[in-house]
Amino acid sequence: MLLFLRLSFFRLSLAGLLACLLMEGAVAQSVVRINGTGSGTGGMLRLAQAFMQAHPNVKVEVQPALGSSGGISALIAGQIELAVSNRKPKDGELAQLPMQSTEYARTPVVIAVSRDLGVTALTSTQLAALFAEGAATYPNGKRARPVLRLSDATDTELLKSFSPEVATAVDAASKRRGMLSASTDSDAADLVEHTAGAFALSTLALIDSENRPLTALAVDGRVPSVASLLDGSYPYYKSLWMIVGTNAGAQTKLFAGFVQSGPGQAVLRAYGHAPR
C-alpha cells in the first residue's frame, strides 16, 4: 500500500512538472513577428521594446525591412504575424488572406541627405535642379546624386508632389541610365548614408527611430516635424498601416492594441510619428 501511494505521488508530481514545462514552452513560443516598410519597422522596434517591458511573456520580433509589399506577402505566407505598410492591402492580396488594416500613424515625408553634407534647406526650384542631367550641385557646391524609386512607387508620387518643377525633373531623371535606385525605404536611406552627395525621399519616422546620421531638409521654408505636420504647416506625409490577419492570435491583438494606446502613441510621437 505504501509503495502504491509513493508511485501515485511520483506520477502526479511528474505530471505536474511536465504540465509546467509545457506551459513555459508555450509562453516561450509566444512570438509576434513584424516586417514591412522601413519607414515603419524602426518605430515598431521602439514599440516592441516598451511593450515587452510590460508583457515579458510575449516576444515581439521586428525583422529587417522587406518593404510594404514584402511585408504583406510575408503575412499572407504565414511567416509573420503583423505587417507594417505605407498602403492598404490590394484586392488580390485580400483574396489570398482576409486582413484588417489600421492607419496607426502618419510621418513627415522628407528629403534626406547626410549630415556631413552641410545642407539643411532647399527651395523646390533648387530641389528640381538637383535632378538635372550632368553634374548637378547643392547650393554649397557639392555634387548631388539623386536616389530614385520605381516610377509607380508610392515614394515617387510623394516626391513629385513637392512641386510641378520637381515632378517634371523626376520624370526626366527616371529615363536616364546610371541613376542610383532603391527598392525599399531602407535601401534608399542606406544609399544616402553611404554614398557621397546622395539624397532621397525618406521619412522622419525612419530617420528618428533608427537614429540615422541623416538630415531632413526644410523645403521652401517648411520644416519637417511632428508638430508642423499636426498643425498643417508641413503638408507632406506618408500614412503607416498596421495589417494583421482577421484570425490573428491573442498576442498579436494585444500588441496591436498597445500600438494604439496612449503609451504606445507617446512612443511613436517621440520618434517622428504623428499619432492617429
For residue 35, tell me if it sits in a domain: yes
Return per-residue pLDDT of the chain as tens, 276 residues: 443 434 344 344 444 444 443 344 443 438 999 999 999 999 999 999 999 999 999 999 999 999 999 999 999 999 999 999 999 999 999 999 999 999 999 999 999 999 999 999 999 999 999 999 988 999 999 999 999 999 889 999 999 999 999 999 999 999 999 999 999 999 999 999 999 999 999 999 999 999 999 999 999 999 999 999 999 999 999 999 999 999 999 999 999 999 999 999 999 999 999 988
Containing structural domain, residue 122:
107-230
Q: Do 205 and 136 fall into the same domain?
A: yes
Q: Do 113 and 102 fall into the same domain?
A: no
For residue 45, tell me if it sits in a domain: yes
Q: Do 120 and 194 fall into the same domain?
A: yes
Output the CA torsion sign for 216, 148, 189, 245.
Answer: positive
* pLDDT tens profile 242-274: 999 999 999 999 999 999 999 999 999 999 999
User: Domain holding 264: CATH number?
Assistant: 3.40.190.10
| Distance separating alpha carbons of residues 112 and 96, to the nearest angstrom | 36
DSSP conformation letters of 154-222: HHHHHHHTT-HHHHHHHHHHTTSTT-EE-SSHHHHHHHHHHSTTEEEEEEHHHHHHTT-SEEE-EETTB
For residue 17, tell me if it sits in a domain: no
| Distance separating alpha carbons of residues 75 and 101, to the nearest angstrom | 12
For residue 263, tell me if it sits in a domain: yes
Q: Do 56 and 127 fall into the same domain?
A: no
Q: Do 219 and 119 fall into the same domain?
A: yes
Q: Do 42 and 78 fall into the same domain?
A: yes
In order of 58, 92, 157, the CA distances from 245 in angstroms are 18, 15, 28
For residue 198, tell me if it sits in a domain: yes
Q: Do 97 and 122 fall into the same domain?
A: no
Q: Do 192 and 151 fall into the same domain?
A: yes
Q: Do 143 and 222 fall into the same domain?
A: yes
C-alpha cell at 49: 521594446
**Position 198, amino acid:** A
For residue 11, tell me if it sits in a domain: no
Number of domains in the chain: 2
What is the pTM (predicted TM-score) of this model?
0.87
Q: Do 102 and 143 fall into the same domain?
A: no
| Distance separating alpha carbons of residues 171 and 216, to the nearest angstrom | 23
Q: Do 220 and 268 fall into the same domain?
A: no
Burial of 163 (0-12, 13-18, 19+ CB in 10 A): middle
For the chain, strand residue ranges (E) read: 31-36, 59-62, 82-85, 99-114, 121-122, 145-148, 180-181, 198-203, 214-216, 218-219, 237-245, 274-275
Q: Do 161 and 185 fall into the same domain?
A: yes
For residue 9, tell me if it sits in a domain: no
For residue 255, tell me if it sits in a domain: yes
